[in-house]
């Protein structure tokens, strides 16, 4: 059974700092990995999707990497801003359709002005 773990559970940083969120998964037979952002009282917003054949994806100040063989992914946030404060979740899928996601418990990020 696939298990997804995210470390740390919570992180507080000053504005402007670069930071890394970690995600690990036990079964390396994944088809893709996704990073989501969740704001309080809201649903999830997809940030980045990495196919199993890819090593990384970038969007603005966000960069996600994937090392499938070691079962690890990182989300790098450059020059953090207070607006980045949210919970970040990673999820993996075994299906080519990207359905049936298995989620980690999330990292709650606070960026202090």
Partner 1 sequence: NAGVTQTPKFRILKIGQSMTLQCTQDMNHNYMYWYRQDPGMGLKLIYYSVGAGITDKGEVPNGYNVSRSTTEDFPLRLELAAPSQTSVYFCASSYALPGLNQPQHFGDGTRLSIL
Contacts with partner 1 by CB under 8 A lie at 4, 31-32, 34, 41-46, 49, 89, 91, 93, 95-106
Comparison of 65 and 93: residue with beta carbon closer to partner 1: 93
Phi, psi dihedral angles at 101 (to 5 degrees): -75, 140
Comparison of 15 and 95: residue with beta carbon closer to partner 1: 95
Comparison of 76 and 103: residue with beta carbon closer to partner 1: 103
Q: Provide, rounded to whole angstroms, the least separation between the CB of residue 103 and partner 1.
A: 3
Q: Provide, rounded to whole angstroms, the least separation between the CB of residue 40 and partner 1.
A: 11
Separation between Cα atoms, residue 58 and residue 32, nearest integer Å = 15
Cβ partners under 8 Å of residue 94, min gap 6? 2, 27, 29, 30, 31, 100
Residue in this structure with the two tokens 């063989």, named with its chain if needed: 69
Closest CA to 30 of 73, 93, 102: 93
Q: Provide, rounded to whole angstroms, the least separation between the CB of residue 25 and partner 1.
A: 12
């Amino acid at each position: 059974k696939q298990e997804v773990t995210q470390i740390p559970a919570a992180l507080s940083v000053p504005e402007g700092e670069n930071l890394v969120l970690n995600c690990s998964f036990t079964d390396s037979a994944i088809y893709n990995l996704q990073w989501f952002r969740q704001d309080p009282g809201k649903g999830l917003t997809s940030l980045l999707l990495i196919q199993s054949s890819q090593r990384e994806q970038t969007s603005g100040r966000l960069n996600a990497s994937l090392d499938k063989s070691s079962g690890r992914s990182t989300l790098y946030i450059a020059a953090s801003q207070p607006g980045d404060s949210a919970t970040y979740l990673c999820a993996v899928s075994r299906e080519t359709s990207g359905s049936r996601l298995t989620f980690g418990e999330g990292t709650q990020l606070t960026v202090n002005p």
